[in-house]
Structure 1
Amino acid sequence: MNINIIAVGKVKEKYFNDAIKNYEKMLKSYGDLSIFEIPDEAAPENLSEKDMIRVKDIEGEKILSKIKDGSYTIALDIKGKSIDSVELADKMKNVMLEGFSNINFIIGGSLGLSDEVLNRADFRLSFSKMTFPHKLMRVILVEQIYRAFRIMNNHPYHK
């Protein structure tokens, strides 16, 4: 199984990178994890609605260019479906049983994801109604992917 995380923005903080690398190392026994960082577009606080859409569209084109044909795509979206860790494991297992060997998880930039990316997604996943910084979300996502593999393989995990 190949897991791809396509994320807008770069993680600069060592402590976040250390946490991500730790989970990446633990995931190696379950599959391959690749992280693709998409440069974020400048988005000052006072952008008009039209400019916000433009920024999301530019980032969206870069995201879509990283999605391989025949892969299953999960967009992290605050308006998506909220599921627990066991349901995520079931979702990933079912995707694999359907014959997909690549699962993409997409984390948007500060303005979210473009309509084109959201429409391309096979599933929209919400971790919470709260907003998280993309770098922290990346740590949370990698941990949940690791936890999902532990659950799928009947290995112990904390409930």
Structure 2
Amino acid sequence: MQKVTILCVGKLKEKFYIDAAAEYVKRLSRFCKLELVELPEERLPEDPSPAQIEAALLKEAAAIRAKLPSGAALIALCVEGEPRSSEALARQMAAWASQGVGHLVFLIGGSFGLHPSIKAEARLRLSMSPMTFPHHLARVMVLEQIYRAYQINAGTKYHK
């Protein structure tokens, strides 16, 4: 059974996000070994300078690297990433599984995104949309898309 880690910068606080994420975590338990890892978001002043943002993203990147399992395929979610349909993501996940990639790590940055150096290390930079979403909502969206990919690959009627 493939292992999937959702590595997130920032902690869910709102009950509706927590409940939605928990529902997909429960559903995914039939398809993969899922782990959710939350890392603290670096604190910044109300109106941070570019240098302060850069320093915070560098610290977050170091914390992310410390949690990355060796040999895992890193999928970084970022707005400039490659948009993929649900079917294309399902095909990619199936291809990785057939190639022996036993661990996928989906990385969701904090409110200022991810440092370019960590994005450069990703096997895939994935964009959910050119629109901007709260990073907490992105977690629920990623969980749903992973669930949908497993459903597509299983040939169920979930994906229409």
Q: With the length of structure 2 as denominator, give the TM-score of the two structures.
A: 0.96
| Cα drift, residue 116 of structure 1 | 1.9
After the TM superposition, which segments of 4 or more aligned residues of structure 1 sit over 6 Å from their partners?
none
Question: Match of 1:12, as an amino acid?
Answer: K
2:27 aligns to what?
26
Structure 2 SS opposite 1:140: helix
Within 5 Å, which residues of 2 pair with 1:52-71? 52-71=53-72
Is contact 2:9-2:38 (8 Å) kept?
A: yes
| Cα drift, residue 154 of structure 1 | 0.7
Structure 1 SS opposite 2:67: coil
What CA distance in whole angstroms lies between the structure 2 residues aligned with 1:94 and 1:101? 11
| Cα drift, residue 96 of structure 1 | 1.0
**CA offsets 1:88-140 (integer angstroms, 9 cap, x no match):** 10111111111110000000011110122111111100001111111111011
What CA distance in whole angstroms lies between the structure 2 residues aligned with 1:154 and 1:74? 24
2:126 aligns to what?
125
What CA distance in whole angstroms lies between the structure 1 residues aligned with 2:45 and 2:103? 35
Question: Match of 1:11, as an amino acid?
Answer: L
What CA distance in whole angstroms lies between the structure 2 residues aligned with 1:115 and 1:137? 19
2:143 aligns to what?
142
Question: Considering only aligned residues, what root-mean-square deviation do their CA atoms show, in Å?
Answer: 1.0
Structure 2 SS opposite 1:78: strand
Count of aligned pairs between the two proteins: 159
Unpaired runs of 5+ in structure 2? none
Unpaired runs of 5+ in structure 1? none
2:85 aligns to what?
84
1:99 aligns to what?
100
| Cα drift, residue 45 of structure 1 | 4.1
What CA distance in whole angstroms lies between the structure 1 residues aligned with 2:44 and 2:92? 34
Percent identity of the aligned residues?
A: 39
| Cα drift, residue 44 of structure 1 | 3.0
